Amino acid sequence: MTGPRTGERVTLSVPQREQITARVAATGDGWLDVTLEDSPRTSLQRLERSKLFLQFVNADGICRLAGRLEAREGDAHLRMYGFGAGETLRFVTRGQIQLLRRPDGVRAPASARVSLIAVHGDPVPVETRTREIGGRGMTFRVPAGVAGPGTLFQFDLHLDDGGPAVSGQVRVDEVRDDGTAEAHYTVLAGPDRSRLMRFAFDGSSRAA
């Protein structure tokens, strides 16, 4: 398993207290510099003493690294000038990467616009919304008679995370009585799968 790369979003988790969104600014042997996107509620002194976790998404699923915050090179001690969003801290890892959830286990309720075009049959786009998004597939509403088990769709999924649409293919596994289709991805680029898992993970974290 690989750790997060420069520029990727991560979550700094303070056990039983809070989760802080950040981005990886730099990486080295046994450490990562992370730039905070949220202002911590936890005091600097407590952060310095606490065992923390850095949670992230890769192709394997939701992963985490244990570690602590330590002084960056050139600093005599751990410090933050403004102690808020935009600060960069050094996270020094302890131990190996832990896999928390595989892609099949990453799933959350989400209403996002999705455009569907049947690969075989009527090429007229169907505009609908998702009900759930995950690492394996998604659920969405379909009009009666549009889809059944085995129907293959090309899709463009529009998330509200500021990025471009995610494109790929899904195959319908079942259509429930209320018109909700359960589908799994058959074509999806690795970075897009990681992005969808991150989106679902963020959604499930907010719901919790």
Give the per-residue pLDDT at 207: 46
- Alpha-carbon distance of 57 to 8, in angstroms, equals 9
- Between residues 59 and 158, which one has the greater pLDDT? 158
Kindly report the pTM of this predicted structure.
0.69
12: nearest Cα among 90, 95, 120, 81: 90
pLDDT digits (tens, 9 = 90+) for 14-42: 998 898 999 999 999 999 999 988 888 88
Q: Is 3 within a domain? A: no
- Alpha-carbon distance of 157 to 192, in angstroms, equals 10
Q: Is 4 within a domain? A: no
207: nearest Cα among 111, 129, 137: 111
Q: Do residues 200 and 106 make contact, with C-beta atoms less than 8 angstroms apart?
A: yes
- Between residues 44 and 118, which one has the greater pLDDT? 118
pLDDT digits (tens, 9 = 90+) for 90-119: 999 999 999 998 888 888 899 999 999 999
| 78 pLDDT more than 60 | no
Q: Is 58 within a domain? A: yes
Residues 50 and 78 in one domain: yes
Mean per-residue pLDDT, 162-183: 94
pLDDT band at 46 (very low <50, low <70, confident <90, very high): confident
The CATH number covering residue 162 comes to: 2.40.10.220
pLDDT band at 77 (very low <50, low <70, confident <90, very high): low
Mean per-residue pLDDT, 130-149: 93
Single residue among 60, 83, 101 that ends a domain in this structure: 101
pLDDT digits (tens, 9 = 90+) for 191-207: 898 889 888 887 665 44
Residues 111 and 203 in one domain: yes
> Which domain covers residue 164, as residue numbers?
105-207
Q: How far is CA 67 from CA 16, 30, 31, 44, 64, in A?
A: 16, 10, 9, 16, 10
| 54 pLDDT more than 80 | yes
Give the per-residue pLDDT at 155: 97
Single residue among 101, 133, 158 that ends a domain in this structure: 101
Q: Residue holding tokens 């979550």?
A: 11
Q: Residue holding tokens 């050094």?
A: 90
Give the per-residue pLDDT at 43: 82
Q: Is 125 within a domain? A: yes
Single residue among 66, 101, 136 that ends a domain in this structure: 101
The CATH number covering residue 17 comes to: 2.30.110
- Between residues 169 and 47, which one has the greater pLDDT? 169
| 53 pLDDT more than 90 | yes
Q: Tell me the two tokens of residue 71.
A: 């002084």
Residues 175 and 86 in one domain: no
